[in-house]
Amino acid sequence: MDRQRIEQLATYLAVRQLVAGVALATLAMADGFLDWDLLDGRTEKVAELTLASLAVAAVAAMAISLMVNVSLLASSLRRAVERIDPGVRAGEELVP
C-alpha cells in the first residue's frame, strides 16, 4: 500500500471518528446540563468508554496522517531538488 493511500485512509478515519466523538460529546453535555438521564449508570459508563476510545483512535489516526504527510513532503522536496540540480544526492549538503 503506498503512502498516499495510507494518508488518505488515516485522514478519512480521523475525520469520521472526530465527527462521531463530537456527536457523542454533545449528547453527553446535554445530558449533564439538562439532567435528561438518557442512559442508566452502567450504559452511561460504556458510552463514556466509547467516547474516550474514539478520541484515542482519532488522535492516533491524525498522528499517522501527520507522519505520512511529512514523509510525502520530504519525498516531494527531494524530487524537486533533483530536478533543479540533478547532481545532488540524498544526504548531500545543498550549500557548500
Q: What is the pLDDT of residues 2-49, one digit of tens each?
A: 888 988 998 898 899 889 989 888 888 888 888 888 888 898 889 889
Q: Is the pLDDT of residue 56 over 90?
A: yes
CA angle, 11 then 14 then 20, to 5°: 140
Q: Which pLDDT band, with edges at 50, 70 and 90, does 57 fall under? A: very high
**pTM (two decimals):** 0.70
Tell me, what's the pLDDT at 52? 92
CA angle, 48 then 63 then 12, to 5°: 75
- Rounded to whole angstroms, the Cα distance separating 96 from 92 reads 10
- Rounded to whole angstroms, the Cα distance separating 52 from 57 reads 9
State mean pLDDT over 60-70. 91
Q: Is the pLDDT of residue 71 over 80?
A: yes
